[in-house]
């Protein structure tokens, strides 16, 4: 599932390729991808508009239109946003096609591709955001978009007794971190996934805050992580590179590259894999 670095990479790719482009036609194949507002609202809301900006909150992509409306795209499990030349062959599971024209007349297509169809495309009036996409207002601090440091993290975790990993995954607290980056962040911070958040020292919180921003920044720099399923790709179809820098995620049984003395362990927590080094992470 794409996490903050993957969604940020897609945002940057979209920003480079679709901003200032005009929507000349819209095709919606699968209704499920536009289930929240329906086919008509997506087509009518997009047609004839110019995309003015592409933003991100947590794992949510938000496009601004010159009409004042906005587009929310959530990739969920397997969604992809691709930008291709007009007339290109579409990959299987392409559910939404937005035809675009640049100032110079060059034509391209923005595709929303989603084999598992958990993702969605929503066109909405930002004044109705609370009614249409109420989860946006409940998102926690974005560690890249917002000011983020040990003070912010301490405030966010204050009074929380849960295991630190489950709190990092809670989108209402810190938005954008999923299973891959939670494991990588905790490894860098030398913290075991199960550590109760309310027992972390100020120094540990500070290290954790730095680890969050460092790991996410490095992953964005590498274009995100494309796993063996190759579900995540950038808008031009290229793979991310951060999977080669994972220190624990998906590396059960391998020698820990940080300490070189213990093997990475995988445990199942709430049905999901958690990878850590029992020597580095206490
Ligand atoms: Zn280790």
pLDDT tens digits, one per residue of 166-200: 999 999 999 999 999 999 999 999 999 999 999 99
pTM of model > 0.85: yes
Q: Which residues are known to be catalytic?
A: 2-3, 59, 272
Task: Kindly tell me if the per-residue pLDDT of 270 is higher than 90.
Answer: no
**Confidence class for position 42, pLDDT limits 50, 70, 90:** very high
Q: Which residues pair with 22 in a beta bridge?
A: 50, 101
Task: Tell me, in angstroms, the distance from the centre of ligand 1 to residue 193's CA.
Answer: 14
The CA 149 to ligand 1 mean position distance, Å, reads: 25
pLDDT at site 146: 95
CB 8 within 8 A of CB 234: no
């Amino acid at each position: 599932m794409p996490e903050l670095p993957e969604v940020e990479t897609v945002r940057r790719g979209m920003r480079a390729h679709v901003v200032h482009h005009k929507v000349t036609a819209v095709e919606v194949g699968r209704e499920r991808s536009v289930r929240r507002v329906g086919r008509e609202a997506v087509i009518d809301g997009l047609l004839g508009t110019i995309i003015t900006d592409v933003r991100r909150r947590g794992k949510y992509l938000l496009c601004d239109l010159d009409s004042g409306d906005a587009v929310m795209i959530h990739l969920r499990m397997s969604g992809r946003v691709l930008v291709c030349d007009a007339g290109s062959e579409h990959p299987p599971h392409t559910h939404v096609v937005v035809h675009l024209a640049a100032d110079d007349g060059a034509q391209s297509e923005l595709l929303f591709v989603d084999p598992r169809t958990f993702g969605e495309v929503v066109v909405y009036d930002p004044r109705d955001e609370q009614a249409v996409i109420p989860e946006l207002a409940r998102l926690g601090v974005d560690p890249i978009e917002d000011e983020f440091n040990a003070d912010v993290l301490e405030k966010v975790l204050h009074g929380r007794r849960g295991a630190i990993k489950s709190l990092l995954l809670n989108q209402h607290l810190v938005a954008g971190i999923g299973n891959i980056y939670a494991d990588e962040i905790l490894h860098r911070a030398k913290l075991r996934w199960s550590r109760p958040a309310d027992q972390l020292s100020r120094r540990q919180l500070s290290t954790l805050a730095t680890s969050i921003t460092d790991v996410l920044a490095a992953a964005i720099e590498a274009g995100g992580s494309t796993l063996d399923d190759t579900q995540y790709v950038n808008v031009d179809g290229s793979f991310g590179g951060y999977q080669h820098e994972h220190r624990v995620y998906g590396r059960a049984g391998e020698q820990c590259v940080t300490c070189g003395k213990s093997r990475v362990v995988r445990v199942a927590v709430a049905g999901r894999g958690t990878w850590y080094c029992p020597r580095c992470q206490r």
